[in-house]
Amino acid sequence: MPHSPSRSTRRGSAAIIVFCVAIAIVYAPLLFSPANFRGWYETVQVYSASWEANGSVYELITAPFRGGDGGSLETAKQTARLIGALGFVATLYLSLRKKLPVADAAYWLLLVPLLLAPVVYPWYLLWGLAVVPLLQRSRGWTMLVWAATSVLSYQLLREPVWRLPAGWALAEYLPVYLALGVEIFSAVRRSND
């Protein structure tokens, strides 16, 4: 007897298809107009070269190269961005391999790239917070803790250089990574059971 897909798998597939169709509709003008695409591409290039504030892993990678030659700093920035992209791909792979429910996969696919991103403002966490009540396997503690500590990032407004001082960054991110460790440990323990 052939195996029929479960109801949750069909709903997850339907949600992904609806999302892709919505994105295609929103970005259709970019796809059909070369001038729009060039303008969008140039904007992305400018932002990706200079848009950075309150990143956790990104700052750890780039901080040692600030004040040195520009070439080393650019290499560090590109490496940090590559790690962010690889983190997203690895999270997507693990979410599919572990057959996570749609909400749990969305949670991890929002959380990991934000932890690796070059810029994180508190309102970026809203998408992840919206998913937390829907979680089935995960608990959402990391996102909840981060929502509480992200208020410290507003110290950026008082800084002459748009960079969070080390003490403030540590106070914001240490509880986040502790919660992440607990959440991953719990997930691994549950999957072993």
**Contact predicate 60/118, CB 8 Å:** no
Q: Which residues of 71-94 are buried (b: 16+ CB within 10 A; e: fewer)?
A: eebeebbeebbeebeebbeebeee
Task: Indicate the average pLDDT of the chain.
Answer: 84
Kindly state the helix (H) or strand (E) to which residue 74 belongs, with its residue range.
helix 70-97
**pLDDT of 140 higher than 90:** yes
Q: Do both 100 and 9 map to the same domain?
A: no
- Say if residue 158 is in the same domain as residue 84: yes
Verify that 45 and 58 share a domain, yes or no.
no
Region 7-24: what's the mean pLDDT?
80
Q: pTM of this prediction? A: 0.73
Residue 158 and residue 67 share a domain = yes
18-65 pLDDT, tens digit each: 888 888 888 777 667 777 777 777 776 766 666 777 888 888 888 777
Structural domain boundaries, residue 44: 1-50
**Tokens linked to 24:** 């295609």
Q: Which residues 6+ apart lie within 8 Å of 77 measured at CB?
A: 52, 62, 118
pLDDT at 161: 77
What is the domain count for the chain?
2
What's the first-to-final CA gap in the chain, in angstroms?
A: 30
pLDDT tens-digit readout, 28-41: 776 677 777 777 77
> Average pLDDT for residues 100-121, to the nearest whole number?
91
Categorize the per-residue pLDDT at 1 as very low, low, confident or very high, splitting at 50, 70 and 90.
very low
The first and second tokens of residue 87, run together, are 């983190």
